[in-house]
Structure 1
Amino acid sequence: MLRIMIIDNKPIRPEYVTAIRDMVPSNKIVYFTDGAAALELMEKEIFDIIITDIPVRGMDGLSILKYLFTHQMQTTARKFVLTNAINDEVVVEAFTYGADFFMVEPYPVDSLIERVLSNPIKSFYAGRTFDNPEQEKTAMIDSIRNTDDIDQVIANVLLHLGVTPNLRGYGYVKDAIKIVCNNPLALDGITKIVYPDVAKHFHTTSSRVERAIRHMIEKTWTIGTMSEIERIFGSAYDPKKGKPTNSEFIATICEYLRNNA
């Protein structure tokens, strides 16, 4: 049976805790919105899993991790960090002080539980030695970029744009972005590489993929969050020019991810 601590800057959500109780064999779940109060209990009791948000009143999530690491407390606990964006410096600091995994908000509770029950991501680089801090930083950042994590980061960017999973073309554009992020040259052959690969994944045709992505972009430019569109697309956003082409949209998102994810 597991003992779980949740530290979240939002008030307790009964359905959240209920879902965890239903999915995880646990005889104790404690929920804190104050980091200092959570740390006080951790000085008295041992936990198997610690899930913390980054911004928490009293004591933020990174400070909690640093305190536990410095004082060698809760050394056997698996530690999960919740955040609304992945920042390289935050990732490095959190992993340095013992974080096992990052989850990008918003996320389904069952996805979080799946991560809690799976192997910690530190295993991707545990035991390795590094010649310099920059090499270690690169390894840490790379370690969170497996397929599932890329999905989360892309979903987070699309959500900021106002793109929700119910829009036609959502799954297609996510796959297309992943393909181009992994192989930028694929964009030069979008009709011969990207669309066919996405179509194969979804058991459809390249022409349907192309039309659905175009439809999703049109919807985004019509009902999306314009302030976020301007922020993410930057100088590429021009109201007079209108919506971007499929290639321009995918390329811009990939460039944004390379610079910010």
Structure 2
Amino acid sequence: MEKQIKVIICADDGEWSREHIDALASRGAQVMITGRNGTTLLSKIREEKPDAVVMELFMAGLDSLGVMHAVKAEGLPRPVFIVTASYSAPTLERQVMEAGASYYAIQPYSKNEIIERIFALTGATHHANSLPASRSDLRIQVTEILHQIGVPAHIKGYHYLRDSIIMAIEEPEIINAVTKQLYPSVAKQYETTSSRVERAIRHAIEVAWDRGDVDVLNSYFGYTIHNTRGKPTNSEFIAMISDKLCLQMENVS
């Protein structure tokens, strides 16, 4: 049984059918519908502090970027943002993901798929700290952490980091053989070289360190931020994230 979550859907009348709203409610979600107006949506977020928000890329008042920037600027609890759009533009999609979106859906998309994403990304499908039911669930958890930290989704190092962290969780000993085992394994998946994987991961960490949310970085890498060592090495970064997820799994085992 999914845990109780609050979901705000910002959409025009009739855009979400009663069937889909009932599907959310039947799984334990408290669903609130608001018109396609970013200013109104932001007020609703302040009032309700939802777990997830589904909104269109462009809205009256504030667009999706404006809403996410305002949530961050005001220090509000950040919900899972799912942004929908009628077309794909790589630059715009990159801006949306960097602003805090967890998922970017291009029309036509399945409402049922959006519903599944809501529960998966909020962790409501299973206990928030439980062992992921599958590799797909683990991938979603790692993806959300990388978004929180501020690693841009459009750079190669993002994908290399995600796979490296998953490998380190599934095979903890691989963190002691980063150069000989981990980089070559990732490189094989993406048909590239170990040195390119290493450089891309280092670049992704540098970008996160320059642009990421300090509070979030501090929660994961506090000791590193507060001393003179600078950002963590590739292996430290991978080990810290994988260790944190492993500890969460052990706490409920």
1:106 corresponds in structure 2 to 102
> Within 2, Cα distance between the matches of 1:202 and 1:236?
30
2:187 alignment partner, one of 189, 196, 199:
199
> Within 2, Cα distance between the matches of 1:237 and 1:157?
18
Structure 1 segment 219-234 matched on structure 2, within 5 A: 219-234=207-222
2:198 corresponds in structure 1 to 210
RMSD across aligned positions (CA): 3.8
Q: Does 1:13 align with 2:10?
A: yes
State the shift of 1:114 in Å.
3.9
1:141 corresponds in structure 2 to 130
The answer as to whether partners of 1:168 and 1:215 remain within 8 angstroms in 2 is no
The answer as to whether partners of 2:175 and 2:235 remain within 8 angstroms in 1 is yes
Q: Does 1:29 align with 2:19?
A: yes
Gaps of 5+ in 2: 33-46, 52-78, 81-100, 121-126
The answer as to whether partners of 1:150 and 1:178 remain within 8 angstroms in 2 is yes
Runs of 4+ in 1 over 6 A off after TM superposition: 54-58
Q: TM-score scaled to structure 2, two decimals?
A: 0.55
Give, as a single letter, the amino acid of the residue that structure 2 aligns with 1:199.
A
Q: Give the greater-gyration-radius structure (CA).
A: 1
Name whichever of 180-189 and 234-243 sits farther off. Answer: 234-243
> Within 2, Cα distance between the matches of 1:234 and 1:155?
20
Matched residue pairs, number? Answer: 171
> Within 2, Cα distance between the matches of 1:179 and 1:165?
19
> Within 2, Cα distance between the matches of 1:111 and 1:161?
29
Partner deviation per Cα, 1:16-40 (whole Å, 9 max, x = no partner)? x84xx6xxxxx74364xxxxxxxxx
1:69 corresponds in structure 2 to none
State the shift of 1:236 in Å.
4.1
Gaps of 5+ in 1: 1-6, 22-26, 32-46, 62-82, 85-104, 122-136
State the shift of 1:259 in Å.
2.7
Q: TM-score scaled to structure 1, two decimals?
A: 0.54
